[in-house]
Amino acid sequence: MKLNKRKDCPICGNLKVFYLDKFWRCSKCLYQFADPQDKSFTKSYYQEDIGLLVQNVLEGKNPKAYLRKYATLATKTIEQLKKGLRICDIGCGTGAFLLKLEEGGHKVYGYDINRAQAEFARKKNGLRHIRDAQSLRGYCRKVKIRREFFDVITCFEVIEHVLDLNKFIEEVYAYLKPGGIFILSTPNNNRIQMHEKWDYPPIHVSRFKKMNMELLLNKHNFTLKTFKTFNELGYYSGNFIAKMNISHNALEHMVKASTDISSPQKSSRNAQLFMLFSKVKKTACWFLDLPLYLFLNMQKEKGHTMFVVAKKIV
Ligand SMILES: [Zn+2]
């Protein structure tokens, strides 16, 4: 998709798009998309992201303690289906979510663009089908998986990073069985906006609302089964603190310099310090957010994250 030449909306094809604050915006379906400028930068970002390094240290101790709300919602959705399903998680990280599903009697597969995370999932968490890969097609070729293989494909907080949106959904469609289930989560562009740093290119290259998400899925022969939005305590205060940049970056660099990804038990006191700092921050944010959280939960479709379940049409 050469967006530098084509400025029509990748979802609805509308030619009336306008550029504002680093995003092209479709006037019809309200989808927002960035020009994919430097792919190499995007890739290196996923290999070096400090948040992921810290997560490895944390998850090395207790993998399932850090699952977020979308993982819980997806687990509930999958529990209503049959046992022994083939489930693939795109952007699986160290595989905490897949570990939980495996315990539930499912056959789990997945890949992550971050090599260290995929290796951690395979070697430390014992998830033998996990690999590092750049795309679903690339992963399936690597582990010799045929088309229409999976019962369920999940991807949490991934689609907003994807440069070629249509190709991404086409691949999901191709590797799902007829009637297969696609579960995803992504930031809801209908939330209260704080101009969050992470919601800009090269980190996020797409912003979705319910309308364009449904259009995108329908366009690729999926029907929308569930659409809901949710809030998590600590999200808004956490973003506010991140905006102020309170000594967080300095600490992150300390952790990065002293974190041994292959042996989290050897991780230094700096990592412990970072974890303690993160816990204190999280608790403080939790309390700060409580009134806002209760208010926001009364607003339909305004939650900061959307949770979507779609079914492949036969
Ligand atoms: Zn559009």
Per-domain boundaries in the chain: 37-231+300-312, 235-295
| SS3 assignment, position 7 | coil
Distance 189 CA to ligand 1 centre (A): 14
pLDDT of the residue at 61: 56
Distance 12 CA to ligand 1 centre (A): 4
Q: Which residues surround ligand 1, an ion (CB under 5 A)?
A: 9, 11-12, 14, 26, 28-29, 31
Distance 212 CA to ligand 1 centre (A): 7
pLDDT of the residue at 1: 43
pLDDT of the residue at 165: 94
pLDDT of the residue at 182: 98
The CATH fold of domain 37-231+300-312: Rossmann fold (3.40.50)
Distance 27 CA to ligand 1 centre (A): 7
The stretches in the chain having pLDDT less than 50 are: 1-4
Q: What are the tokens at 296?
A: 């926001």
Distance 25 CA to ligand 1 centre (A): 8
What residue ranges in 91-149 does DSSP mark as E strands? 107-112, 130-132
Distance 144 CA to ligand 1 centre (A): 36
pLDDT of the residue at 225: 98
Distance 32 CA to ligand 1 centre (A): 8
Would you say 217 and 223 are in contact if contact means Cβ atoms under 8 Å apart? yes
Distance 240 CA to ligand 1 centre (A): 31
Strand order through the sheet with 222-230: 130-132, 107-112, 86-90, 150-156, 176-187, 305-312, 222-230
What is the pTM for the complete model shown? 0.85
